[in-house]
Copies of this chain bind each other. A is one copy, B any other.
């Protein structure tokens, strides 16, 4: 499925030991925050959460390729690992799961991460538009900003994904379509979702290069994403990456996977844990040792504690924001409603 011209992948030097360790630290931080968030939900700290257990390599690896000075990332509701890798303020990010603000409290323009997107396939076209904007704006150094857009195997069924692939390819827009094929869309397995069995296989029909990769191998993910970015950045048009992974947890904290898949199926489908795989590899290659792993875990724990404290401290947003943030230029009708609301809620 590797239809990306090799020539265009040039310039991607192998990852250094320091980078490999950084990737591991990121994956541990993400894993720890992710599993903690489930605990938070059980403890009533947050009302719900969509875990990404098992997708750390795909998320950290792809997010690692982003240049936040010029690229822009379009997540779904499950890209916590990408956000963390990009250095987004994680209290502001996780606030969406506290139900503080749909889309999150972080500043998307500064973070270069679009607001959390709850519509399946909702932002894939936005990425194409943003990317075409880079082409229109032009570039002084021949290097375009690249849009990186995430979607799932389930989302691949939406018409918007097709329109996005076609628009991007017709316009040669610098987009990297990053599909996390995690085997499931809530209760529906990929084989009853994705006709033909592979999202990457769709790309050829648009004359678009594609890579289907082991999404649980973080190094493979970084390398593939970098190749794709180099291709798009140079003005050669979009690339599709299908990272094969597995949704190890429930769809969300309100889902009950026992209704549609057995524990045996889960074990078989999931394969080896990407974090553990990477750990073994670092050990085998002598790049990291147990002390490093312990340190990384400790850092992850400290980080999670800080984020939890931040989340717990988050109050509700003031009701005036309901009215004030609708428009850049408010309207008399909205102001009247706001005044009415203020009056009636102060009475109480």
Give A contacts to B, CB under 8 Å: 157-163, 165-166, 168-170, 192-198, 201-208
Which one, B157, B165, B205, contacts A204 given CB within 8 A?
B205
Point out the residues of chain B lying under 8 angstroms from A160, CB to CB.
159
By the criterion CB–CB under 8 Å, are A195 and B204 in contact?
no
Cβ-defined contact, B201 with A204, below 8 A: yes
Secondary structure of the A contact surface, majority rule: helix
Cα distance A204–B163 when bound, in Å? Answer: 17
In the complex the two chains form, what is the Cα distance from A12 to B206 in whole Å? 32
Of B157, B192, B197, the residue contacting A207 (CB under 8 A) is: B197
A179 and B98 CA atoms in complex are apart in Å by: 49
Instruction: Enumerate 5 A-B pairs (CB-CB under 8 Å) in ascending A order.
Output: A157-B166, A161-B162, A170-B194, A196-B207, A196-B208
Query: Considering only CB atoms, which chain B residue lies closest to A200 in the complex?
Result: B205
| In contact, B195 and A169 (Cβ under 8 angstroms) | yes
Q: Is the CB of A192 within 8 A of B205?
A: no
> Which 5 A-B residue pairings sit nearest by Cβ, starting from the closest?
A159-B159, A169-B195, A196-B207, A162-B162, A202-B205
CA–CA, A157 and B158, complex, Å: 13
**Contact partner of A193 among B165, B170, B196, B204, CB < 8 A?**
B170
A161 CA / B195 CA spacing, docked (Å): 14
Residue of B nearest to A168 (CB): B195
Would you call B204 and A196 a contact (CB within 8 A)?
yes
Q: A162 to B194, alpha carbons, bound, how many Å? A: 11
Chain B residues in 8 Å Cβ range of A202: 202, 205-206
Provide the residues of chain B in CB contact with A201, threshold 8 Å. Answer: 204-205, 207
How near does chain B come to A116, taking the closest CB pair, in angstroms?
23
Which B residues touch A165, using CB under 8 A? 195
How many angstroms from the CA of A203 to the CA of B170 in the assembled complex?
18
Could you say which of B163, B170, B203 contacts A205, with CB atoms under 8 Å apart?
B203
A205 lies within 8 A of B205 (CB): yes
Query: Would A170 and B158 count as touching, CB distance under 8 A?
Result: no
In the complex, which of the residues B194, B195, B197, B208 contacts A195, with contact meaning CB atoms closer than 8 Å? B208
